[in-house]
Structure 1
Amino acid sequence: MTALRFIEHLHDLATGRDVVLSDIWGVVHNGLVSFPEACAALKTFRSRGGTVILITNAPRPADAVQRQLRKFGVPDDTYDGIASSGDLARSYVAAHPSKAVYWLGPERDSSIHSGLDPVFAPIERADYIICTGPFDDETETAEDYRAMMMQARERKLPLICANPDIVVESGDRLLYCAGAIAELYRELGGEVIFYGKPHRPIYVRAMALAREQRGKDTPLNRVLAIGDSVRTDLMGAHAFGIDLLFLTRGIHSEEFAGIDQLDPASVKELFGRPPRALMRELKW
C-alpha cells in the first residue's frame, strides 16, 4: 500500500466520471450555511456534462431536503436530484398502513409522515418504531433512550432507522442522530432496519435518479462518491463498488488536523480499505 495523498481539486478526479453521488451535510453545508466553493464545484461538474445526485441520510423526503438546502443557501443548480433515507423509510410506512407506529424524533422531521397518515401510538401499543433522531439532539445522546429501547426490545418491536448517521456536524458541534439510538437498540438485541448509507438501497435509488437524468445506465467505474464519514460514506461506496473522494474537514476533522500525507500504517488505522483520494474541502 502506498501513501495516501491529498488532492487539491475535484477536477483531478473528474476526468472519466459521468456521475457524482455527493453527501450533503459536511460537504455542501455544515448544518447552518452552505459552502460556496463546494456548491460551485458540483455546478461546474454539471456544466461539463456530469450528473450530480445528492445522497443523504436526512430522515426527510427529498422535497423537504431541498427546502432546507435553499434555506442554507445551496443553489438548485448545484445538483440534479436527491436520494434521501427519509424517502426510503417512508416506503416501509406505506407498506404497513394498518400497523401502529411510535415516532421517535424531533418535530422538524414531521415531513417524513407527510401524505402517509400513519396510525400513531405510544410505545406500549405500537407495532414498530420509526426513529428519525433524538427528541432533542441539542442535549440528548443515545444513552438517554436506554430504558425506552429495553422496553421496545421486550415487546420485540422493529426499529426503522431513517438516518443511520451516528453524529452530524452543526457549525462547530457534533449532534447525535438516529443511528446512535439504532446501534444501541441493536446492541440490546433489538431488530433494526436501516435506510440510508452505507446500505445498498439508497445507492440503487441514487443511480436510478441518475439514469432518469442521463437516459441510460452509468457504469460504476464512471461514478464518484463524495463524503466525510468512514462509517457511512466510505463503507457504503466500497460495498456498492464505486470510488470515494473523502473530505477531511467534516466529522473526522480532529483526526486529520495538521496532516498533509498519510503513511500506509495510518491509512489502515483510519480507513481499513482506503478511499480513492483525500481532500480537505470540496472545490473545483
Structure 2
Amino acid sequence: MSETIARAASSAPVPILGGLSAIAERYDLILCDVWGVLHDGTRAHMGAGEALIRFRTLPEDGRRRRVILVSNAPRPWAGVRTILDGYGVPREAYDAILTSGDLTRRLIAEHPGERIHHLGPERDATIFDGLDIRLVAAGEADRVVCTGLFDDTTETADDYRETLAGFRARNVPMICANPDLVVEREKKLIPCAGLIAQAYAEIGGAVTYAGKPYRPVYEAALAMAAELDGGSAPDVARVLAVGDALRTDIAGAAAYGIPNLLVARGIHAEELGVLAEHDTLGEVSEWLARQEVRPDAVIERLVW
C-alpha cells in the first residue's frame, strides 16, 4: 500500500453500525470480549447474548458459524462460564471460552516445580489448581504471577511499589494474568493486573503477558476454532473480533490482521459520551483521530 493510500484509508470515516446483523454474514467466527461487551461486572448487557445466538444460527457459508469468548479474566474458563451463568448470559450464545487465565496456566506449566508468588486476590487462586508448583511468600519466589489488586476498589499500582522493588532487586520475572489496565464495573473504571505489570516494567522488571492484545491468544483462539470444526481455522478475513477496549481488543486484533468492531458502551463510554443510559452515540471520528489505533467499525452496544 502506498503512503498516500494508507493516509486516505486511515482518514476514512469509521462506520457506526446499528446492529451486528449489518456485517454478520461476512464472518464465520466471532472472537468476543466478555467484560464490557456481554456484562458490566454486575449484570448482563441486554441484547448481547441474543445477538451472538442470532449469529450462530445464520445459514452456513462453507462452515458453521462459531463464537469463542476471549477474555482477559485471570482465571480458568470454567470460572468465567459460572460467572456468565449467574449474570444470565445464555450458553447458547457461544461455543467455547478462552481466558488469559488459561494461557497463564500454560506458561506456568512450562516451569514445573517452581516457587510461585501469587500477587492478587484469593478469588483468583483457582488459576493454580492442579499445577506442579509451590506457592510461596514474595521473598522466596522464583516467579510472580499477578492476577490483580488485592482490593481493586481502593488500591492503585502505587500501593505495590515497594513490593515490586523487592522483586526487581532479585530479578524475579512476572507473568501478568490480565493485561487489562482497567475494566468497567457499574459504570466505574476498576484497575486491573495490567497496571501493576506496567509499573513493574517501568522499573525494568521482566513481564510476560498472557492475553489480549498479544499474538498467542489469537493463535490459541484460532486453534480452538479449528478443533471445534475438526479441521483448519477460518481465514482471518472471515473472523470478527468484538471488544470495548482499543488498547487490547482492537489493537490486538488489528495487529493480527483480524477485522474488528468496537463496542462504545464499555471502558470508553465516558469519552464517547454514552455513559448514561439515555445517551446516544454521536460522531466518533474526532475522538478516533486522537487514538493510536482505529477499529474497522463501531457499535453503541452489541445488539443484532
Name which of 48, 60, 69 aligns with 1:38. 48
TM-score normalised over the length of structure 2: 0.90
C-alpha contact (below 8 Å) 1:131/1:160 kept by paired residues = yes
Task: Quote the Cα distance in structure 2 between the aligned partners of 1:44 and 1:192.
Answer: 39
Q: Deviations over 1:53-88 (max 9, x none)?
A: 000100011111111111111111110011111011
Per-residue CA deviation, residues 191-237 of structure 1 (Å, 9 max, x unaligned), is 00000000011111111111122233200100000001011011100
Amino acid at match of 1:261: E
Match of 2:264 in 1: 248
Q: In structure 2, what is the equivalent of residue 262 of structure 1? A: 284
2:106 to 64, 71, 91: 91
Q: Which runs of 5+ in 2 are unaligned?
A: 1-10, 59-63, 274-279
Is residue 171 from structure 1 mapped to residue 186 from structure 2 by the alignment?
Answer: yes
- The aligned residue for residue 130 of structure 1 is 145
Alignment equivalent of 2:121, drawn from 95, 98, 106: 106
2:215 to 200, 203, 207: 200
The equivalent of 1:18 in structure 2 is 28
C-alpha root-mean-square deviation of aligned residues, in Å?
Answer: 1.2
CA deviation after TM superposition for structure 1 residue 273, in Å: 3.5
- Which whole-Å CA distance do the structure 1 matches of 2:73 and 2:293 have between them? 26
2:37 corresponds to which residue? Answer: 27
Aligned counterpart, 1:279: 299
Equivalent position of 1:77 in the other structure? 92
Q: Structure 1 regions of 5+ residues with no counterpart?
A: none
Residue of structure 2 in register with 1:238 after alignment:
254
Per-residue deviation, 1:96: 1.4
Write the distance in 2 (CA, Å) between the matches of 1:108 and 1:200: 27
Q: Which runs of 4+ in 1 moved over 4 A?
A: none
Aligned residue in 2 for 1:221: 237
Assess if the C-alpha contact under 8 Å between 1:3 and 1:267 holds in 2: no
Contact 1:51–1:214 (8 Å) recurs in 2: no
User: Is the CA contact (8 Å cut-off) linking 1:5 and 1:262 kept in structure 2?
Assistant: no
Which residue number in structure 1 is paired with residue 8 of structure 2? none
Is the deviation greater in 182-191 or in 93-102? 93-102
Query: Is residue 5–residue 260 contact of structure 1 (8 Å, CA) maintained in 2?
Result: no
- Larger relative CO (CA 8 A, sep 6+): 1 or 2? 1
AA matched with 1:189:
G
**In 1: Cα distance, 2:122 partner to 2:88 partner:** 23
Cα distance in 2 for residues equivalent to 1:12 and 1:140: 42
1:16 Cα shift?
1.7
Report what 2:177 is aligned to: 162
Moved more, 75-84 or 117-126: 117-126
CA distance in 1 between partners of 2:137 and 2:126 (Å): 19
Deviations 1:168-209 (A, max 9, x none): 111122111100000000001100000000001111111111
Deviations 1:82-130 (A, max 9, x none): 1111011011222212210110111111110111152011111110100
Q: Does 2:201 correspond to 1:186?
A: yes
Q: Offset of 1:47 from its aligned partner?
A: 1.1
Deviations 1:130-174 (A, max 9, x none): 000011112111111011111110010001000000011111221
Secondary structure of 1:101's counterpart equals strand
Q: CA deviation at 1:261?
A: 2.0
SS of 1:253's partner is coil
CA contact (8 A) 2:244 2:268 kept: yes
**Is 1:118 matched with 2:133?**
yes
Contact 1:220 1:241 in 2 (8 A): yes
* Residue 259 (structure 1) shift: 4.9
- Tell me if the contact between 2:174 and 2:208 (Cα under 8 Å) persists in the aligned partners: yes
